[in-house]
Amino acid sequence: MNILIVDDDNDKIAKIVSVIKAVSEKINIDTVIDSISAQIQLKRIKYDLLILDLLLPIRSNQEPVPNGGELLLKEITRNKTLKTPTIIVGITQFEEYKNNFSSIWKLLFFNDYNWITELTQIIEHTERSNLFTSDLYKQKKPTIIVEGPTDAIIIREAIQLFKPEFLDKIEIKSQKSAGASWVANQIVVWANSLNKDSDGKLIKCVGLLDGDQAGIDANTEINRVIKTDSSSANSFKIFKLKPDYAENIIPICQKGLTIPITLEELYPPKLWRYAETKNWLEERSKMDVLLKDPKDWNKWDETLKDYINRIGLSSDESIYLKTFKLSSKEKVVKYIIALENEEKIKILRNFKKLVTDMIAYLIK
């Protein structure tokens, strides 16, 4: 049985997943946090049950709107390319939004304890009614969850180069415009699902987060929702990108700058210089936030540019003061994938330690 949860509240998602898993461990659960992502999923998969929040963002990184769930329901009815779920259930903790839903489907109130019993009955009914027609339960694999499709392509390529024997044993998961908050959302679902293999052993998951503010916020959210002393915490590990995985960044940090580490910072200077010739790079905004110790910069006597020049970055180091344009990330990935293996290994050499560490956790 396939269930899609559309909700941007991780606390609520965690409780919904727990209710689902109490009915059956053999239920496939997907979750998205906005209407557009839900439509992408509904184009791909026929879901037996859709659990839909009423207060919902239209797109990722937008504020929820009171009629977000209602608008998605209308789009499911209007857009024939979307596979209509067999059963749709609305769920909200705000009674003032109860009219923002369809009269056809059941609406549950999250602040009413009865929602657990009602949702349980709906899941049990859906499971029974689809016993012979629904997709078979797909056994989970150890999974790496990343912030975007280009990240997924590069991680897969690195595994193929450095740990090819594990490529078929691991799933790499992402979606378009996913981002760090989406990774946090997926980790919450995974942790509360407590997926187990045929021997009853927990199947592990890795969340790979950039070392920027969005990655820090996502990690904080995960730690808030999932208690470190719970059994759920044993099913996943967060890998935060840091200079340890980017040897070319370490000398820059030693000179007093803190570069937020994304997958692109793991690429060597040679690739960054090529990217510069292709106009794939741009200046970073708010350069002063890169200062490890701002007290070392006397802003009254020298410009920020003069200060950075004074700390003595080499040409290979100074190029990392720029960043990849969002529009160029797919281009650089296509360029890397098209390289011969020998050159590809050089470009992705920093990824060897990263994928080795992640696989060591996932497969023990």
What pLDDT is stored for residue 308 in this prediction? Answer: 81
**Same topology between domain 2-129 and domain 143-241:** yes
Q: Which among 153, 159, 188, 189 is positioned nearest to 173, based on CA atoms?
A: 153
Q: Which among 232, 30, 236, 28 is positioned nearest to 140, based on CA atoms?
A: 28
For the chain, what are the domain ranges? 2-129, 143-241, 245-347
Q: How are beta strands 322-324 and 281-283 bridged, if at all? A: antiparallel
What pLDDT is stored for residue 136 in this prediction? Answer: 54
- CATH architecture, domain 143-241: 3-Layer(aba) Sandwich (3.40)
Q: Is 174 helix (H, G, I), strand (E, B) or coil?
A: coil
| Terminal CA-CA length for the chain | 29
Give the total residue count for the chain.
Answer: 364
Q: Which helix (H) or strand (E) holds 88?
A: strand 87-92
What pLDDT is stored for residue 178 in this prediction? Answer: 84
What pLDDT is stored for residue 300 in this prediction? Answer: 77
Sign of the CA dihedral running 274, 210, 357, 141: negative
* Four-CA torsion 65, 67, 69, 75, nearest 10 degrees: -110
What pLDDT is stored for residue 244 in this prediction? Answer: 92
Provide the whole-model pTM. Answer: 0.87
What pLDDT is stored for residue 97 in this prediction? Answer: 66
What pLDDT is stored for residue 256 in this prediction? Answer: 85
**Paired tokens of 158:** 């690195």
Q: Which residue ranges in the chain fall short of pLDDT 70?
A: 97-100, 102, 130-137, 294
Identify the CATH number of the domain defined by range 2-129: 3.40.50.2300
